[in-house]
Amino acid sequence: MTETDPSAEPRHPIRVVADRTGLSPSVLRAWERRYGVVNPGRSEAGQRLYSDADIGRISMLAKAAAAGRSVGQIARLPLGELAALVADDADHAQPRRPPTGEFLDHAYVAVTELQPVRLQTVLRAAVFSLGVPQYLDEVAGPLLRRIGDAWHAGEIEIAHEHAASAAIRATLEWLIESLPVEPSAPAVVLACPARERHELGAMLAAGAAARAGWRVIYLGADTPSADIAAAARQHDARAVGVSVIAPTDSDATRTELASLRAALPARVALLVGGSGISRLGELAAGVTPVRDLAHWSGLLGQADRRQAGRRTDGQADRRTDGLTDSQAK
């Protein structure tokens, strides 16, 4: 009797293969359908089962594809030739930073497959590889827009957005903790107003503020105006940022913003952004709409300079208090 090769036994489900090779299940299925890269077995329930040998071959193809090879041209190569090709590519490879598109695509696949742990791993890898500014501008921002567009189009469910929010928020908290911020740095409070549960935009704004050296106090979704104002007073904030993505009641949201403006000191800038502000109509006096992330950063800089100027004027007033005109001069 011939002994069966254990490496040929089909026993791994497709998600195990995805984790080991870095390819998404949709890519794996497409490679099988188009190029016949492997011929997986099936469980009694009809689910794909892969052998160790299958995973080894797919891993080799993934490495070759990452080096620029066309999968269609190398799919049928014997394993030995494929391994030699991968080794040759590795010998001649130049160090490179992964393009932002790869991080963005891998992150979005993790969102659609409800894999928050994998999503967090991809996002942290993007931060380490690209640096904070490029991560925020070219990965985090586009990912949040893609998630929002997909949700509005009905392509993903609220569960996908919630899982993504948890992973992105965890990454944001880690990012903010890792950025050096001076104890005397200006403070900014960020939140979503009452009944607004979509907080991804506020997270992105928080990351941008932390990158710019601000001390971020992040309150999250569905926060009443009184609580936002109390946090701003407690931390002596120079600015408050509010994100509005999908207001369920435009009149109520507009009223919340007006109440927040009235509860804040006049010196504190109230900046409101997000795709939902176009549905609010005219905002109360003293509420500044934010167009995009670059505009947000610019407005924060203005608020910081304005407060610094007022502080300097106040110090000058105190220095001259009690002096005669000639002494003050």
Which of 158, 178, 198 represents a domain boundary (last residue)? 178
| Domain-embedded: residue 1 | no
pLDDT at residue 242 is higher than 90: yes
Could you tell me if 145 and 223 lie in one domain? no
Element (H, E) at 96: none
Q: Which residue has the tokens 């077995």?
A: 41
In the three-class reduction of DSSP (H, G, I as helix; E, B as strand; rest coil), residue 177 is classed as: helix
Can you give the residue range of the structural domain that contains 244? 182-329
Residue 38 lies in a domain: yes
Tell me the per-residue pLDDT of 168-220, one tens digit each, with 9 for 90 and over: 888 888 887 777 777 788 999 999 999 998 887 898 898 889 888 899 999 98
pTM confidence score: 0.59
Helix (H, G, I), strand (E, B) or coil at 241: strand
SS (H, E, C) 105-117: HHHHHHHHCCCHH
pLDDT per residue as tens digits for the range 35-72: 899 999 998 888 899 999 999 999 999 888 877 788 88
- Mean per-residue pLDDT for 70-80? 88
Residue 269 main-chain phi, psi, to 5 deg = -75, 135
- Same domain, yes or no: 160 and 188: no
